[in-house]
Chain A
């Protein structure tokens, strides 16, 4: 078996990485629907922070679990866009003021 360069990851890792990037992109796309620019920037920062804190994980299971959590929060965003009422971050409820 020929030696591969050190930085190539396994296919599974690569797939998970692609998942995570897709998740981030979908979150950003969902955020475009929010009327308030400040809130948009806030949630974007918050999402980015979350991604950064979990950047270092090597364990596949942890990564999968975190991606699942992220997807649930994305669904939360989508649902609240459809209802147009409120969003929940870390158990706190934020009212989305659609009149802005």
Chain B
């Protein structure tokens, strides 16, 4: 949306700056077009130097257009207003709230294994989904408490003591989280 706002503003500026350019070009005539443009642009450069470079080709185009059509229209014709897409950014009704990524069984498994790999008391080579914390990975019950706390942190909900003592493998944890988050694959 920010981009569209910026474009809108710059277009507004462009319309301001191309008007005098167009006027000057139309007034002078085809022969002195480039000189006039240069002078106008010099004036313009005092107002807003940044848009000068951007409107240079545009002013030339507008100048051409207006000199050819001067025979028909008197005075300064309105600047060619580029079609501003007014509908898109005002009426956008989609709001982006930040939310948790949608969980799948696979994602849960990845996250669980990642947390376990980062735990310094676990040897990542021995780690697998079915490895038992105490029998295969050599953790003790206090380590197990720490692991469960880390899982609570990762998934953002508390695991009561009664449930925690049954979660003795990564597979158990994955199944438990999937149950709690209502994910069935």
Least Cβ distance of A13 to chain B in Å?
A: 13
Is the pair B149, A25 in contact by a Cβ cutoff of 8 Å? yes
Q: How would you classify the secondary structure of chain A's contact residues: helix, strand, loop or mixed? A: helix
A12, chain B: closest CB distance, angstroms: 17
Give A26's nearest chain B residue, CB to CB. Answer: B161
Q: How far is the CB of B120 from chain A (nearest CB, A)?
A: 12
* Cα–Cα distance between A22 and B165 once the two chains are bound (Å): 10
Min Cβ gap B121→A in Å is 11
**How far, in angstroms, from A98 to B149 measured CA to CA in the complex?**
23
Given contacts A25-B149, A28-B145, A29-B149, 5 further A-B contacts (CB under 8 A): A17-B141, A18-B165, A21-B165, A28-B149, A51-B142
Determine how close the nearest CB of chain B comes to the CB of A23; give it in whole angstroms.
Answer: 10
Q: Which residues of B come within 8 Å of A, CB atoms?
A: 141-142, 145-146, 148-149, 161, 164-165
Q: A48 an interface residue at 8 Å Cβ cutoff?
A: yes
Instruction: Assess whether B141 is in contact with A28, with CB atoms less than 8 Å apart.
Output: no
For the complex formed, measure the closest distance between the CB of B152 and the CB atoms of chain A, giving whole angstroms: 9
> What are some 20 contacts across the A-B interface (CB < 8 A)?
A17-B141, A18-B165, A21-B141, A21-B142, A21-B145, A21-B165, A22-B161, A24-B142, A24-B145, A25-B145, A25-B148, A25-B149, A25-B161, A25-B164, A28-B145, A28-B146, A28-B149, A29-B149, A48-B142, A51-B142
Among all A-B residue pairs, the 7 with the closest Cβ atoms: A25-B145, A28-B149, A24-B145, A21-B141, A24-B142, A51-B142, A22-B161
Instruction: List chain A residues, Cβ under 8 A from B161.
Output: 22, 25
CA distance A58 to B146 in the complex (A): 24
A22 to chain B: closest residue by CB:
B161
| Measured CA separation A93–B149 after assembly (Å) | 27
Closest beta carbon of chain A to B47's beta carbon, Å:
49
Smallest Cβ-Cβ distance to B146: which chain A residue = A28
Q: B146 contacts which chain A residues (CB < 8 A)?
A: 28
User: A25–B143 Cα gap in the complex (Å)?
Assistant: 10
Rounded to whole Å, the gap between the CB of B155 and the closest CB of chain A is: 15
A51, closest chain B residue (CB): B142
Closest residue on chain B to residue A44 by CB atoms:
B146
Contacts of A18 in B (CB 8 A): 165
Proximity string of chain A (45-86) to chain B, C-beta cutoff 8 Å, 1 when within and 0 when not: 000100100000000000000000000000000000000000
**How far is B141's CA from A17's CA once the two chains are assembled, in angstroms?**
10
Q: Find chain B residues with CB under 8 A from A51 CB.
A: 142
